[in-house]
Amino acid sequence: MRRALLAGACLVLSCQLAGCVAHTRPEELFQLTAESPRNKAMQIRFFETKDEAELLSASAAVLQDLGFQVEESVQDVGFLRATKERSAREYGQDIGRFIVWVLTSPLILGGVAPVMLPVDLHQKIAATLIARPINPEATRQEVRIMFYRVVWKGDGHADQYIPPGQQKMEMLRDPVMYQQFFAKLSKAVFLEAFTL
């Protein structure tokens, strides 16, 4: 009975962990994927204006309105980086963690501790923006923004110290986030954003 429970717990744990890791070979890192053009189209808008500085300033204001804090701005090259920190706890993670714990808690009878899955504790969401002229007269500006997040994992205790290296980074590809940013930017500069 104990071996069956241990085998079941190992199977559940391996299924949980197998879905979390996507291995990428080094030669695949800089290869374009099928969704690359769609992601690029989502991240870029064009504005008919000569005032790159106003566009960058309005972008900073929109990001601050969305809860970000501007950490770096280089107006000469049209660069802006902003971040915000949030809890990364998700309802589904706690449920999955509880189910695995319940399934593996009979292991206590055999002197083995039940399996505790790591959970996402904290996240830092970052936005990197580049504004640049795309024609020789500098009457048309391209604005590209990319949202990504760094997530720190832990064993689920609220007061837990998060050791270095227990983190993952991922691009955020939610179209609503990008649409919301560009809609607010268009209103802030009184210009209509367009795509090619």
Conformation bin of residue 164: beta by default, left when phi > 0, alpha when psi is -120 to 50? beta
**Range of 58's domain?**
45-91+117-189
pLDDT confidence band for 195 (50 / 70 / 90): confident
Is residue 146 predicted with pLDDT exceeding 90? yes
Say how many domains are in the chain. 1
- Rounded Cα–Cα distance for residues 124 and 148 (Å): 8
What are 7-20's pLDDT values in tens digits?
444 444 444 444 44
* Domain membership flag for residue 54: yes
- CATH number, domain containing residue 80: 3.30.310.80
What are 87-99's pLDDT values in tens digits?
766 666 667 767 7
- Rounded Cα–Cα distance for residues 134 and 155 (Å): 48
